[in-house]
């Protein structure tokens, strides 16, 4: 089933679909990707040196295999996850209605009524492609202090004409907020 039809199937009676779209094709790096790429390339350098040393110094074979596993993990962290995300985004579609935002991501459906969106942020790249964040950055505590998980936010990623879609969501959030305030008075 085509994804815009899938979004229409999720509409409630009387709900109007105002915009639907999909992420722009290709690989689009997020700002949080750069730190992990740098770290994983250093990791790959160390793992590569380990494998080279194990092979040239006559170490037992399992030492080279052990290093190779770490090298593969580093390559995935550097590049593989980015290609995996691009593949997932090919199967993603978004919808904005007069009542909520709908995200169809592979086999997962997320529906956010406007009154349940805690934050609305956008990140715009050259060419008008950008990401609209609909959730706060998850924060967790480690023994080294608090950390942010910048890659686990609910978002409409890499959408063309992000400014128009952002204004559409913002306008509907304000209208729904005003109607809720009117209901409470």
Bridge partner residues of 142 (DSSP): 145
Q: Are 131 and 162 a contacting pair, CB within 8 Å?
A: yes
Beta bridge partners of 141: 146
C-alpha distance across the termini of the chain, in Å: 44
Cβ-based burial of 104 (10 A; exposed 0-12, middle 13-18, buried ≥19):
buried
3-state secondary structure of 22: coil
pLDDT at position 148 over 80? no
Predicted pLDDT of residue 143: 67
Specify whether the CB–CB gap between 6 and 93 falls below 8 A: yes
pLDDT for the residue numbered 136: 76
Query: How far from the centroid of its chain's Cα atoms is residue 60's Cα?
Result: 42
Task: Please tell me whether the overall predicted TM-score, pTM, comes out greater than 0.85 for this model.
Answer: no
Q: What tens digit of pLDDT does each residue of 10-52 get? A: 899 999 999 998 888 877 676 667 778 888 889 999 999 999 9
Average per-residue pLDDT in the chain? 82
């Amino acid at each position: 089933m085509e994804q815009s039809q899938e979004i229409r199937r999720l509409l409630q009676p009387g709900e109007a679909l105002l915009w639907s779209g999909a992420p722009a094709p290709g690989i689009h790096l997020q700002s949080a990707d750069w730190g992990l790429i740098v770290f994983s390339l250093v990791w790959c350098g160390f793992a590569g040196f380990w494998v080279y040393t194990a092979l040239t110094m006559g170490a037992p074979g399992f030492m080279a295999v052990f290093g190779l596993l770490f090298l593969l993990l580093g390559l995935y962290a550097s590049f593989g996850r980015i290609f995996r995300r691009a593949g997932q985004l090919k199967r993603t579609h978004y919808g904005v209605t007069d009542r909520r935002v709908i995200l169809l991501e592979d086999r997962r459906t997320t529906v956010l009524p406007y009154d349940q969106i805690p934050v609305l942020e956008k990140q715009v790249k050259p060419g008008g492609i950008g990401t609209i964040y609909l959730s706060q950055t998850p924060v967790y505590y480690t023994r080294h202090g608090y950390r942010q998980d910048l890659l686990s936010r609910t978002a409409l990623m890499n959408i063309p004409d992000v400014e128009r879609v952002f204004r559409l969501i913002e306008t509907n959030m304000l209208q729904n907020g005003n109607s809720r305030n009117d209901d409470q008075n």
